[in-house]
Structures are given as structure tokens and as C-alpha cells.
Structure 1
Amino acid sequence: MDSLTQIVLGAAVGEAVLGKKVGNKAVLYGAIAGTIPDFDVLASNFTDTVTALAVHRGFTHSIVFSVLFAPIFGWIVSRYESYKSFKGWSWLFFWAFITHPLLDAHTTWGTQLFWPMDARLAFKTIFVIDPLYTLPFLMFLILAMRQKRTSLKRRRYNNLGLIISSSYLALTFLLKALAFSKFEWALHEQNIEYTQLDTRPSPMNTILWSANVEADDTYLLGSYSFFDTQPITFEKYPKNHELLGNLSEHEKVQRMIHISEDWYTISREDGQLYFNDLRFGLMSLEPNSQNFVFKYRIDVDSTGQVHFTEEAKAPRDGKKLLKELWERVKGN
């Protein structure tokens, strides 16, 4: 999830663990702890694109990290804070650390919660930014912070935030199941044979859902809003995996395929090869768009090494997509 959401979650967890004993300091340290797992993004400054992608939401988003580092941070804080409980501070950091990847597991990218096992837990029920999850949560946290640390209202406000946000997360599973069934029915009605169907919410809402459908040599992309009145339609995107040629055996290419969970297409534009990760869809709702959210240029240097470079996204594309999404959410 986005940084603000993780700060709010960490702060609320910190309040739940130690708020009664240390007041708003629990909120502060919970907020800090809630951001620490995302420090893995710094890897992109020291390594290549493929390695950075593999590291992202890996070790720092695991149970192992939470267990190992919570006592370390707990000991450090207990050394200089007036509240000296090593156990109390360690418990705060553990719960702030572990709830971070548990929330991220609901997104499309997922987390390697069980690292060092090379598997991502990704429920794909919520977008990385969802105001319906974050804003009510934030409101109740602010209300809690305004109360005295021993106040019953303080605990009630904080608990309400945790309960409402968790209930919304639970609701997203039902919404995903409903959307999945709609896509299944549309594929059946249109006599489309397929091998895989993958669904995810569109940006910043759980009303409009997207689907990736794998057929023999193509992928089909479709969308469905709970306000739709017309049948679901699908657009075809050729896999073009053969364009990789001998590059398909290269170690970095294999890693990218693994990272994308085999949801990828290869495109050639002006003689340049591109790797398109389909899991996150397109930056446009226009028919036959090739503007993928995650698109990587493939280059081969003089030594035969393969390099992936993410194509930059223009700010105007994001603004245009938000306008298109707003119209699409309202139905077709």
C-alpha cells in the first residue's frame, strides 16, 4: 500500500499496543515502524532493475524480518525512552512490522511473507491507493490522538478505525468473487476458451475490476464495473514470446518472467524490444493501447549481458487515466 496508509496502520497498531502507557509516542513509533519495511525500495539505487524488482517486498516484508528486527528496535527505543519496557516496545515493533506485509498481501504485487520461500502472497483485492480504506482509518486515528492516553474514548476511536478498515478489506474478497464470476460468465457466453483468469481492482476503487485472460497465443484484457449494463468485452494482446528468440534462455529474462508470474507480452517498436508486465494493466482505457503501466526496454550490451530499463510514465498519462477511470466506474 502507499506510504500514508502504512503510516496510519502502523500508528493505529502502535496505539493499540502501547497507547494506554505512552500516549502519542506509541502512535509516533508505530508510524515509523509502519514505514520501515518499505526501505527495500532503496535497492533500486544500488542494483539493476531485475534484482530491485525481486528484492521489493521480499525480506523486509517477511515474518522472519518481523521476528528478528522487532527486538532490536525495541531494545534501542527502551534504552532512551522513559518507558523502559523492552518487551512492550518489541511487541509494538513486531505488530507494526507484521501488519505492513499482511496489508500489502492484498495488493497485486503481493509480499514474500514466508521468505526465504520464493513465493508471493497476493490476494489482489485492493489497489495500492484506496481512499475508502485509508481516509476513515485516518479520521478515527486523529480522533483517538486528541484524547487523553487513559481515556476510554481513545481506545474506542482507535478500535473503530481498525475494525472498519479490516471490515473493508474483508468486503473486498466478496467484491472480487462477484467480479470474477461476472468475467467467468462473459467468457462462457462468448465461447472463449482460456487457461487462466486473473482479476484485480482498478486504481483507487473496488467498483471497477480488470481481468487478464490467458488463451493459447494471446491474452485477453477486460473490465467490469458493478454499474455496467452492457456485456463485458475483451481486447486481444498477442503474447509474442517468440520475439525474445535466444534471449528467452538468459538468466535475467527468466527472472523477469518469474517476477511477472508469466503474465507478460513482448512488443517490438522501431526495432526495440519491450517486456510488458500485464499484471498491472494499462495507463489508458483506449482500445488497443500499448501504454502498459510497467513496460521495460530490453537492451543487450557488447558482452551479451541483458539489461531491463523501465519506461518512464508521463504525468499527463496518469491524469488522463484518472479521468477515464471515473467515467468507466459509472458503467458502460
Structure 2
Amino acid sequence: MDSLTQIVLGAAVGEAVLGKKAGNKAMLYGAIAGTIPDLDTFVGNFFDTITAIEIHRGFSHSIVFSVIFAPIFGWIISKIESNPDISWKNWSWLMFWGLFTHPLLDAHTTWGTQLFWPFDLRLAYKNIFVIDPLYTLPFLVFLILAMRRNRLDPKRKKYNRLGLIISSIYLLIITPALKFYTFQKFEDALESQDIEYYRMDTRPAPLNSILWSANIEREEDFLLADYSLFDTLPISFQSIPKNHELAGDWRNNENLERLIDISNGWYTLSTEDGQLIYNDLRFGKMDVTNADAPFVFSYILSEEHGELVATETEKELEDAGNLLPKLWQRILGN
């Protein structure tokens, strides 16, 4: 999830664990704990693109990381905060839950997490977008209300608990129910149009849980589609050829295989200006209303010193402001 959401979750968890003793400092250190796992993006800058992708949400988002570093961070905080009523074990417990709830939340996004690192298992439930105001804003409001109360005020605990409960209901009950409902809608549309397919993957569109997108794999192509809860017209599908044969001599290349594993086989190849492009379909296109829009994640494949390398394509951000009105219009139905 985005940094603000992880800060809010970490702060709320810190308050739940140690707020009665530490007050707002529990929120502060909980927020810090909720931020730490995402430092892997900084570490990724020292590696090539493919390795950086593999590192992202890897070790730092694992149970192993939380268990190892929670007592270390707890000990450091105990040396900074001279409170005789709070031991390093108390701080360690706060840091553990702050670190651990971060990947638990990220597991519900499309990218997922390697919670059980070093085992090669990425959890990605794909029931919430990485930025979802319906999850974050109510959570933030209750956290602020709790923060303004004295640490011994019973309303402080009540507000914080309400924030945790409401956000958890949205994350664990409402969005999975919507994912199941919309999945059935895509299945029904495929059946009614006599479309045979191998597998289907669904996810919420940016910033909401009303509009959902689907990737459907067939033998020679992928189908892309979207469905809003307010739609009245039948679901239509866009065909994207796989073009896997464009890999040519790189077909069995180790680095290409790594990219394929990362995207779980949801990829197409294309060419542009004589360059070979690897498109990761898991995150869809930049503009859900434009069939010709570029994919969110695409990589230029080239050879350097006899090795296949991937370079992420640059995004045209100057038109980003136009995407939100289009997205909102699509959310309201076709």
C-alpha cells in the first residue's frame, strides 16, 4: 500500500499495543515501523532492474524480517526513551506488530508480498488497490481523533479500535465480497459470449473498489476487460496478442525467464521503434478507458555485454491529471 496508509496502520497498531503507556510516542514508533519495510525500494536502486523487482516486497516484507529486526529496533528505542514503565521487550513487541502488519496489508494488493521468504511464494489476494481512499481516510480520521485524547482517556482507545475495526471490515469482508461478485460477472460474460479460456485474474481499478479489471488468458492472446458495479451494458473484451515468438533467440534466456516468473506468465511482447518491449499485464493499462493506452509496467529488452537487460519505459506523466476524470466517469458506469 501507499506510504500514508502504512503510516496510519503502523500508528494505529502502535497505539493498540502500547498507547496506554507511551501515548503518542507509541503512534510515532508504530508509524516508523510501518514505513521500514518499504525501504527495499531504496536498496533496489543499487541493483539491475530485474533484481530490484525481485527484491521489492521480498525479505523486508517477511515474517523472518519482523522476527529478527523487531528486538533490535526495540532495543534502540529503549535506549532513546528513558521510560522505566516500558521495557525493551514492550518496544520490541510494538515494532514486531508494526513491521508484521505492513506485509499483511500489502498481501491484499496486486503486487503481493513474499511473507514466507525465503520460500518462493508470493501472496497476492488482489482485492484492494495500492491507494484506496475508502480504506485510508476513515482510518486516518479515527487515528487523529485518538491522537488528540490523553493516553488514559478511554475514548482514545475507543477511537483507535473503531479505526482498526472499520478498516479491517472493508479490507477483509467488503472488498473480497466485491472481488467474488465481479469475478462471477466476468465468468458469466465469457460464458454468454462462448469464449473459452485457460485462466482469469481480477483486480480493482485504481483508487476504488467499484470498478474491477480482468485479464483472461487464451492460447494465442490475452483478453482485457473491466466492469463497474454501476454498468448497464454487457462486458466487452479487448484482445491483446501474446507475441511470445518475438523473443526469438532469447526465448530460453535466464533473465527473460525471471521476468516471466515475476509476472506469473501474464505478459505480452511488442515492438516499438525497433525495440523489444516486455509488457506486464498484472497492473493493466495507464488509462482503463483507452484501448491504446500503454501498460502501467513495460520494460525495454536489450542486450548489454552479451546479457539480456530490462529497462522500465518512461511514463508520460503530463497527462496524468486527465486520467482521474476519465476513471471517475468509468466508475459511474457505461
Pairwise TM-score range, normalised by the shorter structure: over 0.9
| Amino acid in the other structure paired with 1:146 | R
2:52 alignment partner AA = A
Does 2:36 match 1:36?
yes
> Partner of 1:62 in structure 2?
62
228-237 vs 35-44, greater mean Cα deviation: 35-44
CA–CA separation in structure 2 for the residues paired with 1:142 and 1:156: 12
Partner of 1:217: 220
* Structure 1 residue 290: Cα displacement: 4.7
Residues 10, 96 of structure 1: 8 Å contact kept: yes
The whole-number CA distance in structure 1 between the counterparts of 2:288 and 2:56 is: 28
Return the TM-score normalized by structure 2: 0.97
Amino acid at match of 1:262: G
Distance across 2 between alignment mates of 1:55 and 1:34 = 18
Farther-moved stretch of structure 1 (156-165 vs 308-317)? 308-317
Deviations 1:285-332 (A, max 9, x none): 34531500001111112x311111111112234223222111100101
Q: 1:243 aligns with which of 229, 238, 246?
A: 246
Matching residue of 1:285: 288
* Residues 124-273 of structure 1 mapped to structure 2, 5 A cutoff: 124-170=126-172, 171-273=174-276
1:328 aligned partner = 330
Which amino acid is the alignment partner of residue 180 of structure 1?
A: F
The list of structure 1 runs, each at least 4 consecutive aligned residues, that deviate by more than 6 angstroms after superposition, is: none
Secondary structure, counterpart of 1:139 in structure 2:
helix
Distance 2:277 2:80 in 1: 52
Distance 2:80 2:211 in 1: 49
- Structure 2: state its 5+ residue gaps: none
Q: TM-score, normalised on structure 1?
A: 0.98
Amino acid at match of 1:11: A
Shift of 1:44: 2.7
Does 2:20 correspond to 1:12? no
**How far, CA to CA, are the matches of 2:273 and 2:21 in structure 1?**
64
Instruction: Output the aligned Cα RMSD.
Output: 0.9
- 1:101-116 map, 5 Å: 101-116=103-118
Equivalent AA in structure 2 for residue 255 of structure 1: R
Share of identical aligned residues, percent? 63
Amino acid at match of 1:53: I
Q: Tell me if the contact between 1:10 and 1:34 (Cα under 8 Å) persists in the aligned partners.
A: yes
2:87 is the alignment partner of 1:94 = no
Contact preservation (8 Å) 2:289, 2:327: no
Shift of 1:104: 0.2
**Cα pair 2:44 2:55 within 8 Å, conserved:** no
Alpha-carbon contact 1:235-1:287 (below 8 Å) kept? no
1:165-214 C-alpha deviation (Å, 9 max, x unpaired)? 00000210000000000000000000000000100000000000000000
1-structure distance, mates of 2:183, 2:47: 38
> For the Cα contact (< 8 Å) 1:125–1:172, is it kept in 2?
yes
Question: 1: distance between equivalents of 2:65 and 2:201?
Answer: 30
Q: Distance in 2 between matches of 1:152 and 1:62?
A: 34
Contact 1:284 1:320 in 2 (8 A): no
